[in-house]
Chains A and B, each alone.
Chain A
Amino acid sequence: MLMKRRPTRREFGSGLVLAGAMGLGLRPAIAQPKEVRVAMIAPLSGPWARQGQLMRMGADMAIEEINEKGGIKALSGAKLTLVAADAGDSTEKAKNAAQRLLAQNMDLVGGTGAWLSSFTLAVTEVTERAQLPFLTLSYSDLITGRGFKYVFQTSPTAGHQAEETLPTALQLAEGATGKRPKTIGILMDNTAAPMSFAKPLREGGLEKLGLKLVVDQVFTPPLSDATPLIEKVRTGRPDFLLLLLSAMPDNKLVLEKLDEFKLSKGRLPLVGNGSPLGTPELMNIIGPDLLEGLLFSVADWPFKGDEEMVERFKKRTGEPWMTQDGLTAYGDMWILKEAIERAGAADRVKVADAIRAISLTTGPAAMSFPGPIRFDENGRRQDVPMIFAQWQNGVPVTVFPPELALAKPYWLKEA
């Protein structure tokens, strides 16, 4: 039930004419537009194609809803249209995709993407110079650390995530077992997001929490075999293991190896971070029993109030549940819609100003992200509660913070 949108011949033809006109540097005069265009640049082919396709599904659903409800009211009901481009498998392709979209669609007012933080970096170099406001879920520090004015990070920063994840996990542990963990092990890959997450922890964050780092292993993905990794965990005997893995295949190897070494199912308390730990494909591959009770923090996950929207998504796409990718893309479209309404014009600079001034606590946009939708001058969100999801009966559900939870969390204990 995937909605694949093939360009019609008319669109193709007019697209060509427009492209040709663009090529010669002519700008069309758009007074009161019939449609407003926003962009999505995400990997649609290549090793990360799955992620991009999920994002597209979420965005498409939002666009349909927005238009059904009357489009952009401030622009006399103009329809919102999504133009997607494939970021492919390299930063060069991602940059080209961004440049192409911008050149062929001079009337773009906003965009979202590009999933992989290096792609997001490359794409935003283009969008910044074109003054196109760009929303992203990527949370490596560098993205909003360049002094750019047109990049907006919907995820809390890595540092913030690190600050929030551990104390909550420790609290849960203490509440359930009566003991507060004293030593910690970290297993992570060396991609940008986990590195940003772990950095503040290693630089004093752990000490502040009274945790001693006894196992600290960083590997280059993709992992070939997790045996030496888990062996080190076994000999290090931490009270607690933090998993910062950004790819599903690595998750599978690590979780299964923990099981093999009889460290799973509560024997070694485990907290993860990142949405790859909540994907349906993970469950398909390793089975629900290994995942039961697995707790992970994530920047965004469907929470209380989203149930109906999630049902619609499931019916529409056939996916068993909604993950961060679809949800944030959905939310990004609504944020853009709100911004365009407030800007009152299909003008990207005005839309960017509107995003900077925005403060949403209700509505579909606010319901897609935890915490209020508000961006500081660096494009970062503040005061974002960290969501924890937990696998319960084969589905990862939000369990923390209590006001957003759809189920109660429990601490996995040794049987």
Chain B
Amino acid sequence: MRSPAARRRWAILAVVVTVLLVSFVIRSAYYQLVLTQVLLWAVLSLAWNILSGYSGYFSFGHAAFWGLGAYTVAVGMIDFDLTPWLGIPLGAIVGGLAGAVIGYPTFRLRGHYFALAMLAYPLAMLYVFQWLGYQEVTLPMKREWPLLYMQFADQRAYAVLALGLLALALVVSLRVENSRFGMALLAIKQNEPAAEAAGIDTWRWKMRAIMLSGAFAGMAGGLYAVVLLVVTPESVFGMLVSAQPLILALFGGVGSLWGPVIGAVVLVPLAEGLNGELGDVLPGIQGVVYGVAIILIILGAPEGVYWRLCDRFAKLRPAPRIATGPAAAVARSPATRSVAGGELLVLRGLGISFGGLRALDSVDLVVRQGSLHGIIGPNGAGKTTLFNVVNGFLAPGSGEISFAGAALTGLRPNQVCRRGIGRTFQVARAFPRMSVLDNVIVGAFVSARDDATARRMAKAAVDRVGLADRASTIAGGLTTRELRLMELARALASQPRLVLLDETLAGLGPDDLAGILSVIRQVRDEGVTVLIIEHTMQAMVQLVDEFSVLDHGRLIAAGRPDEIVRDRRVIEAYLGRRWIDRVADVVA
């Protein structure tokens, strides 16, 4: 979905073949060992990238999976005479399971909390393994059947095995990136609530990501044990192990396929070279040089080498054109105008409190099928809270919500979306390096069975909002108006029956405003019910059929625009008591 998958598959093949050749040319056992380590750390970094690079859930604890994989192979061989040929795949299973067990509770956390919680797991395991008596385990030397136990005389065999793992990791990462898996993770990274509201089952995708990540990390750790032959809790569960994939990926380019590889290829030999050359000359200087190096590089390329290079070259190449054919005729579910004007969304007695604050108080609201319904009110009135309750982000304390006759309370946001409700968010965060189409496609996954259909639906949505000619533009270059339209397109991509617009008009100048208003009207004319939040009267008055006015969490007025504008209570809510008395005559 970014650059053509086929081209990248060839690139992977080229890299693999090159490394293979290099490994054969190198005769020194030392360089072969370093090469093997470069590859293994690259695999760990790619594994980390699958979870953290793509989804933004930074893990400081990948040593947990690596270490479990290492001990699986080691203990397997020592206690059960299990050959690493089986032990390493077993390590993958252990790593994947560990990912599930760790992810299950930890994904309730976000951002820094998640990262710090992940930090704790491998360190806790470290002490447990020491306590269990596994301070030092060595893989026994098998003199009779060395090959059966992965004990090769020629170090290059290990490099080849590691290369195989790397190739697998690259291919899988590529698959992930080019499928809805990757898009879902990116959507989560960019704006998780928005992703949920767009129908992405964020929980499922995060769990899949961590299990896949853990499996690869476990396999790499298992092979590491075979190469090093000595496993200690410190060497596989330690902080440095957790930090390594992070450093490599961040240095090389986080969230990209090649970033971890670049990081490993540059930093691992650099560190080892520094150790070798300077280690006995002035002990400690290698650490200083390495620290200075990574600081300097990251200051120069804050998102990593790969992205910096991409940006540099992107300026030289013209923007790629995605074939934008005529607006594809996409089979759309028939606009259910069957009950024209019937009740679509009904809120009865909805209430919710935060601590002592009553954010919504017995709100009754009816949104009619096919209408353009506005919710207004001064700041802090509870408008966005209302949306959040409808969407499923918040559970109401009291009251009910029903949509097309069925109850909506208790559903998770992505399930709400599946029922046919789309939503835009106040803070529109786009993927700056991806095209408009790719930004929108996330919204289509919920309704599309396969990626190709999702593409078509996304295209249709982009056309609908009038961005057809900008479909292939990189989102970083869009104007505010276009960004808003893109947000709208994403909400529409799933072909919802009702779309919730959260302050879509905020901050737009008169020309832009007119453009957006016509799009919104067009959308309604095509059969989609629109519920829109704003707090500026002016634009809304021209747009909507019906108003509901909220103030301090309560519904204070509802009706047609011309009625609302004159309503005393509404004016009072906006301008305050004193104003009312002064201008009462003017308004009447």
Contact = CB atoms under 8 A, between A and B. Distances in A.
A and B touch in the complex (CB under 8 A): yes
Interface of A: 6-7, 22-25, 44-45, 49, 53, 84-86, 88, 90-93, 95-97, 99-100, 102-104, 117-118, 121-122, 125, 128-129, 140, 142, 146-148, 190-192, 195, 220
Contacts of B86: none
Given A45-B286, A142-B136, A146-B141, A86 B234 contact: no
Given A44-B279, A102-B29, 13 more contacts: A24-B27, A84-B280, A86-B275, A95-B228, A97-B279, A99-B30, A118-B135, A118-B232, A128-B141, A129-B153, A140-B136, A147-B141, A195-B135
A224 B286 CA distance: 29
Contacts of A93: 275
A91 B228 contact: yes
Interface string B114-141: 0000000000000100110101101011
A22 B29 CA distance: 10
Interface string B133-160: 1011010110000000000010000000
B28 A118 contact: no
A121 B275 CA distance: 20
Contacts of B33: 95-96, 99
Contact of A7 (B37, B235, B281, B283): B281
A53 B279 CA distance: 12
B29 A99 contact: yes
B240 interface: yes
Interface in B219-246: 228-230, 232, 234-235, 238, 240
Given A190-B135, A191-B135, A86 B279 contact: yes
A129 B27 CA distance: 16
A147 B444 CA distance: 63
Contacts of A142: 136, 138
A109 B272 CA distance: 24
B26 interface: yes
A191 B229 CA distance: 18
14 contacts: A23-B26, A24-B27, A86-B280, A92-B228, A95-B228, A99-B30, A125-B138, A125-B228, A128-B141, A146-B140, A190-B130, A190-B131, A190-B135, A220-B127
Nearest to A96: B272
A96 B131 CA distance: 28
Contact of B28 (A23, A85, A129): A23
B275 A96 contact: yes
B279 A102 contact: no
Interface in B30-73: 30-31, 33-34, 37
Nearest to A89: B240
A39 to B, nearest CB: 11
Contacts of B275: 86, 88, 93, 96-97
Contacts of B153: 129
B130 A118 contact: no
Contacts of A49: 283-284
Given A122-B228, A220-B130, A91 B235 contact: yes
B280 A102 contact: no
B276 interface: yes
B287 interface: yes
Contact of B30 (A96, A117, A146, A148): A96
A139 B204 CA distance: 51
Contacts of A96: 30, 33-34, 37, 272, 275-276
A55 to B, nearest CB: 12
Going nearest first, the 9 A-B pairs with the smallest beta carbon separation are A86-B279, A25-B27, A103-B30, A45-B283, A44-B283, A122-B230, A125-B229, A103-B28, A99-B30
A89 to B, nearest CB: 8
A192 to B, nearest CB: 5
Contacts of A44: 279-280, 283
Given A45-B287, A85-B279, A220 B131 contact: yes
Contact of A86 (B138, B235, B283): B283
Nearest to B37: A92
A103 B276 CA distance: 12
A262 B45 CA distance: 53
Interface in B545-571: none
Contacts of A25: 27-28
A90 B232 CA distance: 10
Contacts of A195: 133, 135
B240 A100 contact: no
B280 A192 contact: no
B33 to A, nearest CB: 5
Interface in B272-323: 272, 275-276, 279-281, 283-284, 286-287
B283 A192 contact: no
Given A86-B283, A220-B127, A118 B272 contact: no
B32 to A, nearest CB: 9
B191 to A, nearest CB: 39
Contacts of B230: 91, 95, 118, 121-122, 125
Contact of B138 (A85, A99, A121, A129): A121
Contacts of B138: 121, 125, 142, 146
Nearest to B227: A95
Contacts of B27: 22-25
A84 B30 CA distance: 16
B288 to A, nearest CB: 10
A235 B235 CA distance: 37
Nearest to B34: A96
A413 B509 CA distance: 92
Contacts of B280: 44, 84-86
Contacts of A84: 280
B28 to A, nearest CB: 4
Contacts of A129: 153
Contact of A90 (B130, B229, B235, B284): B235
Contacts of A140: 136
Nearest to A23: B28
Nearest to A56: B280
Given A121-B230, A122-B229, A220-B131, A6 B281 contact: yes
A219 to B, nearest CB: 10
Given A25-B27, A90-B234, A190-B130, A100 B136 contact: no
A49 to B, nearest CB: 6
B47 to A, nearest CB: 18
A198 to B, nearest CB: 12
A56 B458 CA distance: 69
B259 to A, nearest CB: 22
Q: Which of A44, A96, A142 has the largest number of chain B CB atoms within 10 A?
A: A96
A177 B283 CA distance: 49
A229 to B, nearest CB: 16
A103 B28 CA distance: 6
A234 to B, nearest CB: 24
Nearest to B137: A142
A222 B471 CA distance: 60
Contacts of B131: 190, 220
Contact of B136 (A45, A102, A117): A117
B244 to A, nearest CB: 10
Contacts of B276: 85, 96-97, 100
Nearest to B281: A6
A15 to B, nearest CB: 10
Q: Which of B153, B234, B235 has the largest number of chain A CB atoms within 10 A?
A: B235
A7 to B, nearest CB: 7
Nearest to A43: B283
A192 B229 CA distance: 17
Contacts of A220: 127, 130-131
B127 A91 contact: no
A10 to B, nearest CB: 16
A22 to B, nearest CB: 5
B71 to A, nearest CB: 14
A22 B235 contact: no
A103 B135 contact: no
Given A90-B234, A91-B232, A22 B127 contact: no
A274 to B, nearest CB: 16
